[in-house]
Amino acid sequence: MMRRLARHELKSEYSEIEPQLMKYIAEFPEYDLHEMLREVLTGESVIWVGKNSFAIGAPLDYHNARVFLMECTAGDVEEIMEAMPIIEADIKAWGFNDIEVCGRYGWKKKMQPYGFKLDRVILKKTIGEDDGR
């Protein structure tokens, strides 16, 4: 089962979550490990960890709405979904009504039974790479 790590627990728990974080950074090099850890340590972000997964989130302000964005989610999506009632309770207690989760497209099927729906798609292109035209 996943649990939220308090900031002061990060140092003692780091060796257990480091492999998952390093794998995530390798897959998504736009993220910086030191910056992710700094944000958790300063309270800008929150981290939940499980045996085979983790989720890092923070408030996100749109022009007319404030949501809690789970920006870095990785590992066992079923473990994350099993922990969602705990995560949602934390987020609700902090005054948020909506949660957004960044994940792989394949997570859509597994998350729909928990009330998640596809809201938008982010498309990415590296400028200068062959576009296939």
Are 2 and 50 in contact by the 8 Å Cβ rule? The answer is: yes
Question: Can you give the pTM of this predicted structure?
Answer: 0.88
Work out the number of other CB atoms within 10 angstroms of the CB of residue 82: 15
First to last CA, the chain: 47
Amino acid in position 121: V
Q: What is the pLDDT along the chain (133 residues), one digit of tens a residue?
A: 899 999 999 999 999 999 999 999 999 999 999 999 999 999 999 999 999 999 999 999 999 999 999 999 999 999 999 999 999 999 999 999 999 999 888 888 989 999 999 888 877 777 887 777 6
List, in sequence order, every residue forming a beta bridge with 68; answer none if it has no partner.
Answer: 59, 99
Are 48 and 83 in contact by the 8 Å Cβ rule? The answer is: yes
Helix (H, G, I), strand (E, B) or coil at 40: helix
Domains and CATH numbers, the chain: 3-114 (3.40.630.30)
